[in-house]
Structure formats: structure tokens, C-alpha cells
Amino acid sequence: MEPAAPTDDPALGEVVVSQAAIAARVAELGAQIADDYAGRAPLLVGVLKGAFVFMADLARAIDLPVECDFMAVSSYGAATKTSGVVRIVKDLDLDLSGRDVIVVEDIIDSGLTLQYLRRNLLARGPASLEVCAMLVREGQQKGDLGLKYVGFSIPPDFVIGYGLDVAERYRNLPDVRTYKGA
């Protein structure tokens, strides 16, 4: 079987955020969250599948008794654009009422997925709800999404790696890179 992401794959573009830069930023975000939520036990809600790598690193960078849950959403429409119509494919196992929820996202593009998620999760009565996004694509969002924690702002190019895929490939790349494939 061929490896999932050989580093000589011609579809791999330049490194946008390196493994080392990610590790340093995740440590900072974890420390900031531990500070902001001191004395509490926040519930991290990872949005599958893209956020699974970031979630694993972030959870270990937070020196608090965090709990983790996941949900999977899929947006209708073309593969690389979101329509804003979101379907919950896998819902959370845990009850959000009274919880300090932190939604963990891989990348915010239009922000439509997040807007839907925020509305949906707020309706479940959490004590608080904040968002931690690894990446935000610059200039694509209409209006203020109220992102409390952001890893990196990146240019408009489509990216892969560190959880982000093209047709399920490249999620295991340690760096975030542009994609040169068709």
C-alpha cells in the first residue's frame, strides 16, 4: 500500500505553517485557555474530521481537567466551498447544559459552518461558548464571528495537512501546506 502522504508527492505545495510553528502556537493557546478557565473543567467540542489532529494537541496543552467530545458535520454543495446548509452527521454524546464549551475547529473559511454550529450549540444551554480555530482564512468571513482563540491567519490558498484533507488524503501531514493538485 502506498503511504498516505509521501513527502515527494508533487501535489504538495509550500509550507504555510510549519510543524514547529504549530507546536509553539498550540502551547500558547493551551496556556491561555488554562488561564482563562482556571478552576473550571471546560468541554472541548472537536468538529470532525478536520479538527482531530489539532484537538489532540490542544487538549494535551491545557493543564486543566478538560473533557472531550466530538461532532461531525457535513455541508451540502461543492467539495471545497460551504453553502451554509449544514447537516449533523454525528452528534455529541455529552449534555452541554451548564458546561463551559470550547468549539475546536480546523479552519474557518466563510464562517458559515461555525455560524450554524454556534446557533445549534447555544440552544443546548451551555454556561459559556467560545471557539478555538487553528486557522482562519483572511478576508473570507462576512461579519464578526467572535473567535476567541485563533492559531494563525492564512492567505486565501486552499491548504492541506494537520487534519485538513483533499478527498480524505493529507490529514497526516505534520505541516500545513498549499495544495498544487488538480
Q: 105 and 51 in contact (C-beta within 8 Å)? A: yes
Report d(CA 56, CA 154) in Å as an integer: 22
Q: Which of 100, 106, 109, 175 is catalytic?
A: 109
Distance of closest approach, residue 80 Cβ to Mg ion, in angstroms = 12
> Which lies closer to ligand IMP via its Cβ, residue 1 or residue 182?
182
By CB under 6 A, residue 126 contacts ligand IMP = no
Q: Which does 164 bind (CB under 5 to 8 A by kind): ligand IMP, Mg ion, none?
A: ligand IMP
Residue 17 as a binder of ligand IMP (CB under 6 A): the answer is: no
Task: Determine the distance from the C-alpha atom of residue 152 to the mean position of all C-alpha atoms in its chain, rounded to a whole number.
Answer: 11
Beta pairing partners, 82: none
Residues between 159 and 178 that touch ligand IMP (CB under 6 A) = 159-160, 164
- Extract the runs of DSSP E, i.e. beta strands, from 49-160: 67-75, 86-90, 100-108, 128-137, 149-154, 159-160
Helix (H, G, I), strand (E, B) or coil at 177: strand
Which range of residues in 28-36, 63-71, 87-95, 104-112 is near ligand IMP by CB under 6 A?
Answer: 104-112
> Is 107 among the residues that bind ligand IMP (CB under 6 A)?
yes
Residues in the chain: 182
Active site residues: 109
